[in-house]
Structure 1
Amino acid sequence: MHISLRLLRYFVAAAETGSTTAAARALNVSQPSISVAIRELESVFNEALFTRGLGAGLIATQFGERKLSEARQLLAVAAAFEADDGGNAAAGEVRLGVFTTIAPVYLPSLLRIAQQRYPKLSIRCEEGDLAQLESRLQSHRIDLALTYDVGLPAGIERECLADLKPHALIPAGSRLGKTRGPVSLRQLVKEPFILIDLPYSREFLLAPFWQYGLSPEVRYRVASIELARAMVAEGLGVALLITQKSATMHTPTLVERPIREETVRQPLVIARAAQALHTRASQLVAECIHAAVQETLVRRSGRPRTGETPIAAPGQPK
């Protein structure tokens, strides 16, 4: 049995694009080349890798999903092997997933730091919600994820970057917004509540209230921090967030306030599948993630905010 890297690349491209035509376009090869590669692999395994969905799209079988995960791992190993050609260990490609709500806060700094330190290092980014990132890690579609440690299973390794405490978004012109200092959950629960309604997110944003036997009136459900901030700025209610604003998010009509009560803190982590290859490139990206998170937390006030505890990267000063 002989399976080349070319066949694996064609197989992965077909699975990720959902068609042989799209895969051929992505790899700049002929469509029959993709079809032949799939048939060769199915002949080797004597089992189907795909079924045809509506519109003749390719859908991986259960067997195909398992082989897809293995193919991605093998290609990652090959890419890491090639990246060290000529002694240049600061090269290669890393597939990074980033939780949608935190991408604007940390990703720009991360990419800038990586470009400055390791210009030959390539980072391919994908945004996703918590459930999507978990799935992509387990299927080896991504190598690392910058995310919150919410609902991650035992098969996912975590490296903690910071412990973050929830904070409130309040309309600046409201009675509550004109007060100073921390606000109480009991004060917030009296206001209309705007909830970030994403898988897992909704639960950990409501958990601080539940911790004190409170239940806010959810008036609006949104899918992005930007929309939540805009609605608070219009005086439509209050919101609770873990993610701090990015450097470009300045809205004078809303204020951010710490929570008075001690609540469960949310770990910000680098996550990877337990069986994932620890390449030199992925280690360098993890180093850049640490630097970006610490830079972002310190930049806001000269030191981490109360409830924000950055954790040094391995080998870095504590």
Structure 2
Amino acid sequence: MSNPAYSLRQLAYFVAVAEAGTLAGASATLHVSASALSLALDELERALDAQLTVRRRAHGIRLTPAGQETLRRARRLLREADELADAAGGDPGEVAGTVRVGCYTTLAPGILPATIGRFTARHPRARVEFVEGSQDVLQRGLLDGELDVAVLYDHRLDPVLELTPLSSNTPHLVLPRDHRLVHGSAPVALADLVDEPMVLLDLPPSSEHALGVCLAAGLSPRIRYRTSNAETARALVGQGLGFTVLAQAEPGGRDEVAAVPIAEDPSPLPIVMGWSGHVAPTATARAFADAARSA
């Protein structure tokens, strides 16, 4: 097997430039001169015999299609190199290195802390870096190689993703606690809210799913407010400004609202762990997925 004509340093410089969008931005991040970065990019392109970037003065760096594919693979190689270096200092078979995890924003409080706790207790030499975001952002992170794994709702996901089930959430209705329809934990029919406005959690796929639940129950909601923050949605409901439909577990500490079952009995929304089907997950990523499944 011949040695590669490129170096890990060249790949790291290329990834930094691609993520910064400019040589100057990557230079500031890496504390390396822009000329050294430019030279490394030239050498990498010669080694791979491919044009990876289009460099335009005052317009930054644009990746070619070959550059986009190389970026995804370079991120993977650099992560595996880090994992190899970390594992070399431990016992054989010990999980080490960094796993980059994405989590859908509203699922993060109920899933991430406990999963990270289990994972780090089992694998003390491993590290977790996580981001929270919408499904579109997380899917793009998986496909671009920025994330190793992500926790998502199984709703209109890219078919290239590999998925493993974790659990599910059943949508519920959030109303002011003193609302006329709130009677303990008795279910409430969405059709009975036809004259009331809706506060929509405008964070796909939650927004699409909540509207679908309403329409399936025969309710075409009149949306008064939109927010990408579930707690803001609950707070607006608490002020009597409408109702909302949420899927994530109800946190404590907001006495002015009540979470009640929906009489029309909507289907649960599955929660899954996903990773790119183009790249096998690292040992650290697989160990994190095991920790998530053992909840």
TM-score normalised per structure 1? 0.83
Is 1:225 matched up with 2:242?
Answer: no
2:9 to 6, 11, 14: 6
Does the alignment pair 1:87 with 2:87?
Answer: no
Structure 1 residue 155, shift from structure 2 partner: 0.7
Moved more, 118-127 or 103-112: 103-112
Report whether the alignment pairs 1:199 with 2:204: yes
Match of 2:192 in 1: 187
1:33 maps onto 2:36 in alignment? yes
Which letter does structure 2 place at the counterpart of 1:103?
A
SS of 2:273's equivalent? strand
Q: Secondary structure of the residue that 2:25 maps to in structure 1?
A: helix
**How far apart in 2 are the matches of 1:138 and 1:227?**
31
1:62 is aligned with what amino acid? P
Matched AA of 1:87:
D
Q: Which residue of 2 aligns with 1:151?
A: 156
**In structure 1, the residue corresponding to 2:98 is in which secondary structure?**
strand
Where in structure 2 are the equivalents of 1:80-159 lying within 5 Å? 80-85=83-88, 86-87=90-91, 89-159=94-164
Alignment partner of 2:279 out of 276, 279, 288:
276
The one-letter code of the counterpart of 1:99 is Y
Selected match of 2:262 from 259, 284, 297: 259
Deviation at 1:122, TM superposition (A): 0.7
State how far apart, in whole Å, the 2-side matches of 1:59 and 1:125 are.
Answer: 26
Secondary structure, aligned partner of 2:113 = helix
Task: Report the equivalent of 1:18.
Answer: 21
Verify: 1:243 aligned to 2:248, yes or no.
yes
Return closer, same or farther for 1:52/1:182 CA change in 2, 3 Å cut-off.
farther
Match of 2:293 among 283, 290, 293: 290
- The equivalent position to 1:75 in structure 2, one of 75, 78, 82, is 78
Change (3 A) 1:239 1:12: same
- TM-aligned CA deviation for residue 136 of structure 1: 1.1
- The structure-2 alpha-carbon separation of the partners of 1:189 and 1:159, relative to structure 1 and needing over 3 Å to count, comes to farther
Once the 2 structures are TM-superposed, how far is the Cα of residue 242 of structure 1 from its aligned partner?
Answer: 0.8
Distance 1:81 1:119 in 2: 16
Q: Is the 1:195–1:222 Cα contact (8 Å) retained in structure 2?
A: yes
Distance in 2 between the 1:81 and 1:278 partners?
14
Cα displacement string for residues 89-111 of structure 1 (whole angstroms, at most 9, x for unaligned residues): 22111110111222223222223
Match of 1:299 in 2: none
Contact in 2 for aligned 1:73/1:277 (Cα 8 Å): no
CA distance in 1 between counterparts of 2:190 and 2:216 reads 10
Give distance in 2, aligned partners of 1:28 and 1:106.
Answer: 37
Q: Does the Cα contact within 8 Å between 2:149 and 2:274 map onto a contact in 1?
A: yes
Deviates more, 1:254-263 or 1:143-152: 254-263
CA contact (8 A) 1:110 1:289 kept: yes
- In structure 2, the CA distance between the partners of 1:55 and 1:214, relative to structure 1 (3 Å rule), is farther
* Matching of residue 49 in structure 1 with residue 49 in structure 2: no
Q: 1:57 to 1:250 in 2, by over 3 A?
A: farther
Gaps of 5+ in 2: none
The equivalent of 2:181 in structure 1 is 176
Distance 1:53 1:271 in 2: 36
Q: Equivalent pairs: percent with the same residue?
A: 34
CA-based RMSD of the aligned residues comes to 2.2
The Cα of 1:232 is off from its aligned counterpart by 0.9
Letter paired with 2:175:
I
CA distance in 2, matches of 1:84, 1:272: 22
Change (3 A) 1:281 1:213: same
1:189–1:250: structure 2 CA closer, same or farther, 3 Å change rule?
farther
The unaligned stretches of length 5 or more in structure 1 are 295-318
Farther off after superposition, 70-79 or 153-162 = 70-79
Rounded to whole Å, the distance in 2 between the matches of 1:54 and 1:168 is 54
Q: Give the distance between the partners of 1:24 and 1:120, measured in 2 at CA.
A: 30
Are the equivalent residues in 2 in contact too, given 1:77–1:277 (CA < 8 A)? no
CA-CA distance at 1:290 after TM superposition: 2.8
- 8 Å Cα contact 1:149/1:269 also seen in 2: yes
